[in-house]
Amino acid sequence: MQRGSIHDDTCPSFQGALELVGRRWTGSVLAAALQGAHRFGEFRALIDGISDRLLAQRLKELEAEGLIERTVVPSTPVQVHYGLSGEGRALMAALQPLAQWSVRRAARRTGDPEAEAGDHR
């Protein structure tokens, strides 16, 4: 960002990050990976309501973004593992304050003391 004026176009990295994490299901896929999902079926089981097509698409996108690492395990039959990259792990850590802000905000709006006290991953 330049000093003195704010160009939406001079923050492309931040804007890109916001759009990336704002994409539907992306947060859930990253959260499933953080919870230890490795195989496609494990992601599907953890993420309620996602279709195979969308899950495959999100994993592919996140691999292209360098946030998910895809590993082919040379077993019989061959297995494919997905896991957070170091950058993906750093992103999840960087999102914690925003997640906590959103939970505190929701609690203030509903007056739910449990949500206000709770942590959010």
List residues near a copy of itself by CB under 8 A.
1, 4-9, 11-19, 21-22, 24-25, 27-28, 31-32, 35, 45-50, 87, 90-91, 93-106, 108, 120-121
Bridge partner residues of 68 (DSSP): 84
| Smallest distance, a copy of itself to C-beta of residue 73, A | 24
- Nearer to a copy of itself among residue 74 and residue 109 (C-beta): 109
Give the residue among 47, 22, 20 at the shortest CA–CA distance from 32.
Answer: 47
| Smallest distance, a copy of itself to C-beta of residue 28, A | 5
Give dist(CA 83, CA 36) in Å, integer. Answer: 8
- Establish how many alpha carbons lie within 13 A of residue 19's alpha carbon, considering only the half-sphere containing its beta carbon: 8
